[in-house]
Structure 1
Amino acid sequence: LSVSALVGCRTSALEESLRILNQRAILFSFLEEHSDLGTRPAAEAVFFDFDHTLADTQTTIPVDTEYGTEQRDSKCFFLRAGERPHFEALSPQELARTGPIDSMVQIARQLEARGDLLFIVTARGESHTWNTIPLWLKKNGIKINGLVAANAKETVDGLKPLSRDTKLPHDFKKALIIAGWIELIQSKFPESPLKSVSYYEDTDHHLRGAMQLLPLAFPDIEFHFYDILRTQRSPGKYRLTPIANASHGTLDLPGDPAHYASPDCPDED
């Protein structure tokens, strides 16, 4: 799907995301607080989700429904109207007990060792996340250049001035954070622009937003998108799946990225 094709099928959410991205000062100010880009430019920036991507999270989330409280899989989590989730289940103690996905942690270590910039964009929103995830990563031998908890109060408040609505566009929330980081890196190292960006994620709607927005916003950068699929064998078994590349603003993906869906959580949205 080319940039021209994307322009032809822009959704209102994509248009709003592009408008938000133009407000660089607000994005930069927020992201600089949560980044350490170092002093040397890097050719590649790599963005990881956390749960079910680096961490083998098997926690269930209690949800109050009209029929009582039920436990829902955090991997394929969903909410119906009127339901109340208890995300406090994602506690510091729970995170400390969570093991790594060894193959993905190994990839992160290798990328960091070759000098790539590494960032975490997690959907977690608990206040402890800013400290406990870096500690978990350090324990597992991963050094990062930045972390944003997309649903944390600090993020919601910090980025609220960007959106006409009270929330950032749903599919594009992580994509906008990634785009802001890309622009921040480019502004710090203008003589050595990024050549490549990789994004590792297990949640379809975040991949949909990233595949629509990022190649359109940065046609001079090569993008590589990876879906981490949970197989049928066990909740602890994951398979890294390359799903799309993009260069010169052209996304190599069969079909419309706005409708991308993986087989492990077919009803997640």
Structure 2
Amino acid sequence: MTKYFIPFFLFITSLYGGTAVQGWYPEDFDVAAAAEGVATILDQQGKDVDNIGIENIIFTDADHTLLKTMTPILLRDTSTGQLVKDPKDGTLLRLPNRGAFSSLQLLKQELPSLPWDSIEVDYMEMGSVVALDVTETIDSMVAVLMSSDKMSKNREYIITARSDDDVAAAMEDYFLNLGIDINGVFAVNNATIGDTIGYSEHHITIAQKKALIIEAILHLYTSHENTIKSVSFYDDNDDNLVVAMNLLPELFPKIDFSFYDVVHEGNNIFTIHNIANAKDGILVSPEGEKLSDEDIEYHSYDAPIPDE
């Protein structure tokens, strides 16, 4: 089996414009209002937002972090409203692997005759409750959540790039059937979530949306007489991890952070790697080497999904 996980750290100047809260960070982002938005969303999901005594929080992505997602991502021609078909055989055209941007580039090279200016990625199938129900879990990550869920001072949140309105209810039901009571689900590309948190009008990336949601959740908890001791963030996307590593420890120096990359090794096997930690706002490698003097760029190499 090919070993794909080969991490490295590059120290560069001002990856996000100097300090963590400059550059991409929206100048008019109101974190207090965003925290109230979080409370509204959690209330709508039937979650208790007033409990105190919380000390440890896990934030995790869903697809390829908790779930061995194989749901196809299709393409749609916005000029006709129709799903795009492969001109070679007439089948619906699907992204060939997990990376939307890299997949599109591959398809554009392979099928240059298609009207790419009017073609967009269509995540319709990612909103299917039925598809989610038959998706296999990444057992090592489920074990992490199950262990945390047993602790009264712990909370677990799913922060996913999905966008459908039914994602929260579907995810909650899925994990309840596994015996895990997720404390909240945030689909960062959902329009209502974006409006409620307050980032919809800003041209920011999925990684940046995730970081703002985590910031808002932590602000909500720390303003409710909680002393948050530790936060763990699990994701399979390097950009999501990098943005969170650069932003969150600086904003919350009293919280200990741990960042984990969930890597696809091939053959539908996923492994968890601790890539960085933070204490007193200082980011360090798993071996304790200081990483926070300059911003960090992190890369790992995942096997394609599906396997080639």
TMscore range, shorter length: 0.7 to 0.9
Q: Shift of the alpha carbon at 1:24?
A: 2.4
Amino-acid identity (%): 29
**Structure 1 residues not aligned, in runs of 5+:** none
Which of 165, 174, 191 is the matching residue for 1:153? 191
Q: 2: CA distance between counterparts of 1:139 and 1:38?
A: 26
Deviations 1:119-158 (A, max 9, x none): 1111100111121111111111111222111001211222
- Tell me what 1:231 maps to: 265
**Does the 8 Å contact 2:85/2:93 carry over to 1?**
no
Q: What are the equivalent positions in structure 2 for 1:99-138 lying under 5 Å apart?
A: 99-115=136-152, 116-138=154-176
Which of 18, 29, 34 is the matching residue for 1:27? 34
| Matching residue's letter, 1:71 | R
**Greater helix proportion:** 1
Q: In structure 2, the residue corresponding to 1:71 is in which secondary structure? A: coil
Q: 2:99 aligned with 1:76, yes or no?
A: yes
Tell me whether 90-99 or 174-183 shows the greater mean CA deviation: 90-99
**Does the 8 Å contact 1:14/1:172 carry over to 2?**
no
Structure 1 pair 167–159 and aligned structure 2 pair: CA distance change class (3 A): farther
Tell me whether 71-80 or 222-231 shows the greater mean CA deviation: 71-80
TM-score, normalisation: structure 2: 0.74
**Does the 8 Å contact 1:100/1:140 carry over to 2?**
no
**Structure 2 residues not aligned, in runs of 5+:** 1-10, 43-47, 77-83, 106-115, 286-290
Q: 2: CA distance between counterparts of 1:171 and 1:146?
A: 18
**Does the 8 Å contact 1:225/1:245 carry over to 2?**
yes
Structure 1 pair 159–40 and aligned structure 2 pair: CA distance change class (3 A): closer
C-alpha root-mean-square deviation of aligned residues, in Å? 2.8
Q: Shift of the alpha carbon at 1:20?
A: 5.2
Q: What are the equivalent positions in structure 2 for 1:204-243 lying under 5 Å apart?
A: 204-232=238-266, 234=267, 236-243=268-275
Tell me whether 85-94 or 211-220 shows the greater mean CA deviation: 85-94
Structure 1 pair 33–47 and aligned structure 2 pair: CA distance change class (3 A): same
> Which consecutive aligned stretches of 4+ in structure 1 deviate over 4 angstroms post-superposition?
5-10, 64-69, 254-258
Where relative contact order (Cα < 8 A, 6+ residues apart) is larger, the structure is 2
Which of 194, 219, 224 is the matching residue for 2:228? 194
**Does the 8 Å contact 1:58/1:74 carry over to 2?**
no
TM-score, normalisation: structure 1: 0.84
Structure 1 pair 56–38 and aligned structure 2 pair: CA distance change class (3 A): farther
Q: 2:254 aligned with 1:247, yes or no?
A: no
| Matching residue's letter, 1:202 | D
Aligned residues: 255
**Does the 8 Å contact 1:225/1:242 carry over to 2?**
yes
Q: In structure 2, the residue corresponding to 1:34 is in which secondary structure? A: helix
Structure 1 pair 179–237 and aligned structure 2 pair: CA distance change class (3 A): same
- Tell me what 1:178 maps to: 214
| Matching residue's letter, 1:34 | I
Q: In structure 1, the residue corresponding to 2:272 is in which secondary structure? A: strand
- Tell me what 1:11 maps to: 17
**Does the 8 Å contact 2:75/2:121 carry over to 1?**
yes
| Matching residue's letter, 1:17 | Y
